[in-house]
Amino acid sequence: CNKCSEHSDNKDISQIFIKDINEKKGKYDPETAASIEVLISGLRNTDENPETDALYRDKFAEIFTFFRDSPYSMAVVLNGESKKSGIQQIIEKLALGYLPTYAFGDGNNDIGMFEAVDIAIAMENASDYVKGQADFVTKSNVNGGIRFGLQQFNLIN
């Protein structure tokens, strides 16, 4: 398959997505990082421990960027990739630069995304730091915050 998804037996990894970039050539070399693209969507930790966070960051610094998104988990992305770069690529490839852009976020990994759009909207459940980076704070993610935020900017009724 082009993309496989599985839940890991490792209690510290919530989900793994794997794409073999040499699949069409019939090659697979688990010893060579270049032969496989891996995105670990999240790491679950028992507690927010700066020493444990540093271990992950140091061990995988050449491959991944880690964002603490709760006291019990970290989001993980490939270096050079982010929500910000994804938004920028969509705007560029679809020639949407003339349209106002909006982003909703509640975690530290959303700050870059806020930088890529015209209007940054933080969820009420976001940290004070994230709220401070936003142009507007909406209701929480479990209390209709997306809908409320869209209504405030007259994007929906």
Checking if the pLDDT of 27 tops 70, the result is: no
Give the residue-averaged pLDDT of 123-150: 96
Checking if the pLDDT of 38 tops 60, the result is: no
Strand order in the sheet with 102-105: 102-105, 119-122, 136-137
Give the residue-averaged pLDDT of 31-47: 50
Q: Domain residue spans in the chain?
A: 4-78, 83-152
Give pTM, 2 decimals. Answer: 0.61
- pLDDT score of 41: 55
pLDDT bucket at 119, cuts 50 / 70 / 90:
very high
What the block records as the tokens of 97 is 């630069």
Give the residue, 142 or 24, on which the prediction is more confident: 142
Least confident window among 28-37, 78-87, 130-139: 28-37
Within 13 Å of residue 29, how many CA atoms lie on the same side as its CB?
8
Give the residue, 9 or 55, on which the prediction is more confident: 55
Structural contact between residues 134 and 111, judged by C-beta atoms closer than 8 angstroms: no
- In this structure, which CATH number among 1.10.260.40, 3.40.50.261, 3.40.50.1000, 3.30.1490.70 belongs to the domain 83-152? 3.40.50.1000
Residue % of the chain over a pLDDT of 70: 69
pLDDT bucket at 2, cuts 50 / 70 / 90:
very low
- pLDDT score of 17: 46
Within 13 Å of residue 142, how many CA atoms lie on the same side as its CB?
2
